[in-house]
Amino acid sequence: MEIRWLGHSAFEIISDDNVKILIDPFISNNPTCQVPVEELNPDIILLTHGHSDHFGDALEISNNTNAPIACIHEISLFLAKQGIRNISVNIGGSFIYRNVKFTMLDAKHSSDIDIVEETVPGGSAASFLITFEDGTKVFHAGDTGLFGDMKDIIGDIYKPDVVLVPIGDKFTMGPFEAALATMWLNPKVVIPMHYNTFPPIEQDPAIFANFVSQFNPNIDVVVMNPDEYFEFNPEDYQD
């Protein structure tokens, strides 16, 4: 499976069977993303919440490619009104699409749809666990603060292999909290996100990596550059 960071919280994940999953596609207004919107051709788009730095170009990409947008009920109502293909889901629920299982899980954050002049209610902010056919699990934490269910539910029950966590602070966890979250989620690999996009969320990912190695040195911290690919091979991380 390949993970491509598009900057901020935007990722493209490509399964071994070439299913392309696009998460929080903040592309054209993302100062760290050089990828043109037209280049993206996902099979499915996931939205963790309605804020413009996550919703991004979802409407245009879905329109161009006919990829459905999976999101919480309230955002799906908004999409349905625009005639956009969508998959409505809610916290704790799963669905299968092209042999990949998607589970919406909790996040501690706010959500409204602020890409329109009059903001529209966006339900709750969420996170996504993606389970591939070989059992590999990727967890995208969305925007969130630290909360105990990262350990008791997401870490202990869902056991993600790769986690993507925000470290930017101010609007989400900072490096210290994100490293604690990583320890609780207990993955094989963690990739930091949601930092260095704008001045308010400037962070040095090395500080995050240091905290992670103090809390659990067995977790690999993969610091990516925008438009870089990381290939995750479960065989490399067998106990």
Residues contributing to the site for Zn ion (CB under 5 A): 51, 143
Q: Is 230 helix (H, G, I), strand (E, B) or coil?
A: strand
Picking from 199, 206, 153, 212, the residue whose alpha carbon sits closest to that of residue 31 is: 199
- Nearer to Zn ion (CB atom), residue 8 or residue 51: 51
- Region of 56 (left: φ > 0; alpha: ψ -120 to 50; beta: rest) is left
Compute the distance between CA of residue 32 and CA of residue 196 in angstroms, rounded to an integer: 8
- Nearer to Zn ion (CB atom), residue 122 or residue 175: 122
Smallest separation (angstroms) from Zn ion to the CB of 21: 20
Smallest separation (angstroms) from Zn ion to the CB of 51: 4
Query: Closest residue to Zn ion, Cβ-based?
Result: 51
- Nearer to Zn ion (CB atom), residue 20 or residue 54: 54
Compute the distance between CA of residue 135 and CA of residue 193 in angstroms, rounded to an integer: 24
- Dihedral (Cα; 176, 201, 150, 233), 10-degree rounding: -90
Half-sphere exposure of 86 (CA within 13 A, CB side): 20
Contact by Cβ (8 Å): 191, 163: yes
Smallest separation (angstroms) from Zn ion to the CB of 125: 7
- Nearer to Zn ion (CB atom), residue 143 or residue 169: 143
- Nearer to Zn ion (CB atom), residue 74 or residue 143: 143
Name beta bridge partners: 105: 127
- Nearer to Zn ion (CB atom), residue 122 or residue 160: 122
Compute the distance between CA of residue 127 and CA of residue 175 in angstroms, rounded to an integer: 19
Q: Is 174 helix (H, G, I), strand (E, B) or coil?
A: coil
Provide DSSP, 32-97.
Answer: T--S-GGG---SEEE-S---HHHHTTHHHHHHHH---EEEEHHHHHHHHHTT--EEEE-TT-EEEE
- Nearer to Zn ion (CB atom), residue 98 or residue 170: 170
